[in-house]
Chain A
Amino acid sequence: MIGDIPYEIDWVSTYRFHQRVVARLRVGRVLFAGDAAHSLPPYGSRGMNSGIQDADNLAWKLASIHNGQAGEDLLESYHIERYAAARENLRVTEATIRFMVPPNRLRRWTRSALLRLSHSLGLAQKHVNSGRMAEPFVYTESPIVQQADDSLLGSFAPDMRIVDEPSRLRRLLGHRFVALCFATTGARAAELLLAGPFRVVRHGGRVACRRPGRGRSRRRSGHSLR
């Protein structure tokens, strides 16, 4: 993997790991997260990241149920969303394992060829799989994510620099539901400011307004954008 350069091996050992996921992340009132839910190879920092994302996904749902804003059925979406993420992590790390530990001579030969070519050929570098870094999973199949033809739906909100202040969009998100509105003009943004407790931010000449959402308040949330 390190290429055609001189090296010396100091220490060799056998390293065993497992990759598996429970059949269900929710069994009645029992919820599985992190290492209790899935065991992953150490490629791409997926074990720690997915554990944190499990907790992030579950925390707000538990809070909503505890506060009486949602029914316990909401927890089913935790299983649907995070089980799909765990399966994807297994798929990605399994591909890395097949590259790192070729199961047969043909794959070993292919890997050696790719490594040789990768020094000079950019296309070959893309196929060198020493671990794909973890990224937030996109919840495309979730029952609480709108099903529409938009690749952003279900994804982690793209970040962006905010003009006029030393902050970024993601710092303004989190902790509660947020309505993010991209106004077409500054005048429209001003209208939204009058309609509710929006905050107006600018990025690259565009205007975005955000306000903390309240899952319990249908009327106020609905009127805020009218």
Chain B
Amino acid sequence: MTPSRWRGTAQSAETWWVVRPDGHLAARGSKGEDFAAALMTAAGVVTSDRILVKGTHA
């Protein structure tokens, strides 16, 4: 992957990314109000009933 791939994400509008501690990209968005929910999901805080209990995907 090259830096140009980053540039492609930033050219048109402001973009945020959630980067996990292992360096993987977990979520992206452009609205600030969406960030908190994305972070909670990526961190496993929003768990269980909906996502992880049965190992199924959201």
A contact residues vs B (CB 8 Å cutoff): 53, 56-57, 59-61, 64, 69-71, 73-74, 76-77, 79-80, 136, 139, 141-148, 150, 152-161, 170, 173-184, 188, 203-204, 206, 208, 210, 213, 215-216, 218-219, 221-226
Contact = CB atoms under 8 A, between A and B. Distances in A.
A165 B20 CA distance: 24
Given A179-B16, A180-B16, A152 B57 contact: no
A215 B40 contact: yes
Interface of B: 1-3, 5-7, 9-10, 13-28, 32-33, 35-36, 38-45, 47-48, 51-53, 55-58
A74 B44 contact: yes
A184 B14 CA distance: 5
The winner among B2, B32, B44, B56 for most chain A CB atoms within 10 A is B44
B36 A182 contact: no
Contact of B25 (A147, A154, A160, A223): A154
A25 B52 CA distance: 15
Nearest to A205: B7
Given A70-B45, A143-B52, A204 B23 contact: no
A179 B57 contact: no
A210 to B, nearest CB: 8
A156 B45 contact: no
B33 A222 contact: yes
A224 B55 CA distance: 31
A215 B21 CA distance: 11
B44 A213 contact: no
Given A178-B19, A204-B3, A143 B45 contact: no
B39 A213 contact: yes
Contacts of B24: 136, 139, 145, 154-157
Contacts of B36: 218-219, 221-222
20 contacts: A60-B22, A71-B44, A71-B48, A76-B53, A136-B24, A145-B27, A146-B28, A150-B9, A153-B28, A157-B17, A160-B6, A161-B3, A177-B20, A181-B16, A204-B3, A206-B6, A208-B10, A213-B39, A216-B45, A221-B39
